[in-house]
Amino acid sequence: MLLQFVYSNQDFVADVHWSSGRRVGIESTPAKFDTTIQAGWTDRMNRGLFRYHLGDLQTRVLPGAHGYVAQLNIQRGIERRKPQEILSIQQQFNAKQFNFNKINPEEIIFEMIKDTEGGNEIGQLHQPSRMVVLVNVSPLEFGHCLFVPDPSRCFPQILTRSAVSVGIEAVLLSSEPGFRVGFNSLGAFASVNHLHLHGYYLNHELKIESMPVKPLVPEKGFYRLLDFPAGFLFYTESEGVEEVTGAICQLTDFLVEGNIAHNVFLTRGCPPSDCIQNKKDLCSRKGVRIAVWPRTSSFGAKEESAFNVALCELAGHLPFKNKKDYELTTEKDVMDIIQTYLLPDTEFHMLEQKLTLHLREL
């Protein structure tokens, strides 16, 4: 029988802080969400359901202002399933290709169910949805899992309100500042055209968590990142999830309609600011930062030898495919590679103007 993880807003962890040397960086007792995912993931690893055994990954922080976290993960580059051929950001679901209805059922850890109590949750404004959480059998890091909204409904890889809201809520349910959630659109290195988000633990602080921002439509939690790589940022705390979810989907729907590929990264982060904040604010992780990077589409493009530019690489986490690149790549090398996948400056600023106007009008 499928394990059910039932949660409500009362289960959200109000604030977390980084604490050196501990995987659980905040409380002596981890949240139920973390223990459930970690126990289920470890059980599947021990039962041999993964394509390879993931031990402690060799890790180093690249010298430089961006603090890139580099990890050597050769087996993922070799063993992961061959990505599907993607020709369009709006490509329809194809039941003949691999999808999450074809997995081994034992890969499923649990089903997330929100206890709505008052009946005002986002999911009830639309079709009722279920969120299945399963292991990624080619893991990037510890606890790497996939969040798949009702697999039987065969949604293509285009974000929905319920998927975004559960992604944000998953971050809020975790008591670990290193739990991250992300999304790759088609044309942005999504390898399966079946709606899913990634979740995993990375026990290293990333600059995206405190990067300064410029307000664009602050009443909708919408900002522009003021540092590389060029992108947009939303921010919310637990009480604002519904509103910011709507704004995020307004933006991503606009990108899909314009055939603009994009990556999304959700992480605990400090409140947005355009200047250096005090130490207390910089350490606080009360809310969730949601970064969205519009980028050039990669359809049938040759993969990079060092790393592919997708959700985690844009956020500052670099899983390297080979030892030579892992050992020799510099921060400048990383920035040069990433820049080739970002929109040209003029195109990005035109998009910023359109999105700002779009979000203000809605």
> Which has the higher per-residue pLDDT, 262 or 28?
262
Q: Which of the residue ranges 2-6, 68-72, 82-86, 158-162 would you say has the lowest mean pLDDT?
A: 82-86
For the CA atoms of 3, 148, 137, 293, the dihedral, rounded to the nearest 10 degrees, stands at -140
Confidence check: pLDDT of 126 > 60: no
Helix axes 241-257, 161-173, angle to 10 degrees: 130
Q: Which helix (H) or strand (E) holds 351?
A: helix 345-361
Q: Are strands 108-114 and 4-7 parallel, antiparallel or unpaired?
A: parallel
Confidence check: pLDDT of 118 > 80: no
| Burial degree of 358 (CB within 10 A; 0-12, 13-18, 19+) | middle
Task: Kindly indicate the confidence band of residue 127, based on its pLDDT and cuts at 50, 70 and 90.
Answer: very low
- Six token digits for residue 171: 């971050």
The domain spans of the chain are 4-361
Which pLDDT does position 284 carry in this prediction? 77
Q: Which CATH number fits domain 4-361: 3.30.428.70, 3.30.70.3170, 3.40.50.620, 3.40.50.300?
A: 3.30.428.70
Which pLDDT does position 26 carry in this prediction? 43
Q: Which of the residue ranges 54-63, 108-117, 166-175, 286-295 would you say has the lowest mean pLDDT?
A: 108-117
Mean pLDDT confidence for 218-245 = 95
Give the mean pLDDT of the chain. Answer: 90
Yes or no: say if 191 and 40 are a contact pair by the CB < 8 Å rule.
no
Cis (ω within 30 of 0) for the bond into 63? no
Identify whether 53 is a catalytic site residue.
no
Which candidate in 66, 144, 194, 196 is catalytic? 196
Backbone angles phi, psi at 139, to 5 degrees: -70, 145
Mean pLDDT confidence for 194-203 = 97
CA distance 46 to 355: 46
The order of strands in the sheet holding 69-72 is 58-61, 69-72, 317-320
Residue 114's beta-bridge partner residues?
7
Confidence check: pLDDT of 28 > 60: no
CA distance 291 to 208: 8
Q: Name the residue type at position 352.
A: E
Yes or no: say if 318 and 328 are a contact pair by the CB < 8 Å rule.
no
CA distance 319 to 306: 8
Q: Which of the residue ranges 16-25, 60-69, 281-290 would you say has the lowest mean pLDDT?
A: 16-25
Q: Name the residue type at position 200.
A: Y
Question: Over the stretch 324-341, which tens digit does the pLDDT of each residue have?
Answer: 999 999 999 999 999 999
Question: Over the stretch 338-350, which tens digit does the pLDDT of each residue have?
Answer: 999 999 999 999 9
